[in-house]
Structure 1
């Protein structure tokens, strides 16, 4: 998450143009990877933990710490920076990112920032995505000659796929109790489980009394047994149920 002092106060569209290139030849190479809050999405964690050959619990314990969003009281996972002088990212070396092809969406977007806001329209509330420049004083990438649009940058960096995977989860993150009441620790724990710790969430589904309580079709159970993306989306359904956003589950009839 960028510092607000580095955010250029202009809203961009997919057609907005800019010049930028990051490569080992620029003097600031990897400087933006230190002393920064990098928020992770459920899809980020699937890719990163699989790249490293770890379970979700192992990955979360070793590489992340949890914080609470002050606006919504939702739990969020962030990369745990090293305790060196630079507060370096644990995945970055002087040569670059060691998990580059599976790096988080926020890293892919840089130097573009992306956000979502809830907008009132004649047809009700809609979620609208927007983009903005992040211009840190030390960054020399803007002095390069390679030209992009926001749209072409997203495709080149593979962040369009990440956004598609993350969209439903991001929409959930915008929701809070209309009374302003914060989530209790039990709700936060369940949301964290269903968002980030998917291997443990899977055990919760199949090894607890979950399926004695909820009526889940056999074909859906088969999918979430085999497919982590299906499991992730099942987690989104569960979070919506917890937050009373949508009645996504039916209780089993006694």
Structure 2
């Protein structure tokens, strides 16, 4: 079994799905909930869908109350971080001394801990096993527990394998954009569309059904029926549409009435208004 350096915060060693590590977190360890304070958690699109549903909030309400936006320098794409409390420890808004209030619906980053995950390339030609690394924080006593996992077992146990499948197109968009030369920038309009589709599923639904979207794009009725009232299906549809918009994929046919606008540095077709 691979032994992490106890003084290193993040080990640069690549882990595969079959790499082993030793860890268990429970209320009996003295550092319980300490890792939920002073953190930086980027929320995935599916994280927001699950949490807003758990809290019975609209996308707008959840984004306003619990997130703060930022633009990732390497991708030039907007993401949202979980907004921490303004207390001495900068605590997660959902953590209490006895645990997490939304544990069953906690974000993917929380589920992965003590692992980190990264993709080295977009999906075509990428390593199917992915790239994982071990996060070893000196304050965490969970590493002293005797339970041994493989990365594959941990992902299944924590439910991140399912979440990663739902977020796969979004992650691929992020990595694909990161591979572009630095001088190729997205327009503000493109960033707004990326943000809406990724994070504000309620607004995206209005965009699809209350604008000329379905007149401009040839989407069959069965597909429309699947995502009309299903946030996850709508998210998957929207991410495929973003690939068309930003990277000129051919997932959807565009009606001839659609006009062209500049989306990046070149001319591209117009998004619905």
Give the TM-score normalised by the residue count of structure 2.
0.86
Aligned to 1:81: 84
**Cα offsets for 1:8-30 (capped at 9, x unmatched):** 12111222122111111111111
Indicate yes or no: 2:244 matched with 1:241.
yes
Shift of 1:60: 0.8
Shift of 1:195: 0.5
Q: C-alpha root-mean-square deviation of aligned residues, in Å?
A: 1.7
Shift of 1:179: 4.4
Aligned to 1:149: 150
- The 5 A counterparts of 1:222-241 are 222-241=225-244
Alpha-carbon distance in structure 2 between the residues aligned to 1:125 and 1:146: 34
Aligned to 2:221: 218
Is contact 1:91-1:98 (8 Å) kept? yes
Indicate yes or no: 2:95 matched with 1:92.
yes
Choose which of 101, 113, 120 in structure 2 pairs with 1:117: 120
Indicate yes or no: 2:203 matched with 1:197.
no
Aligned to 1:130: 131
User: What secondary structure sits across from 2:149 in the alignment?
Assistant: strand
Alpha-carbon distance in structure 1 between the residues aligned to 2:136 and 2:248: 37
Shift of 1:245: 4.2
Alpha-carbon distance in structure 2 between the residues aligned to 1:35 and 1:99: 18
Alpha-carbon distance in structure 2 between the residues aligned to 1:144 and 1:76: 35
Indicate yes or no: 2:79 matched with 1:70.
no
**Cα offsets for 1:96-127 (capped at 9, x unmatched):** 1111111111100100111111189xxx7435
Runs (4 or more) in structure 1 with deviation over 6 Å come to: none
Shift of 1:148: 1.2
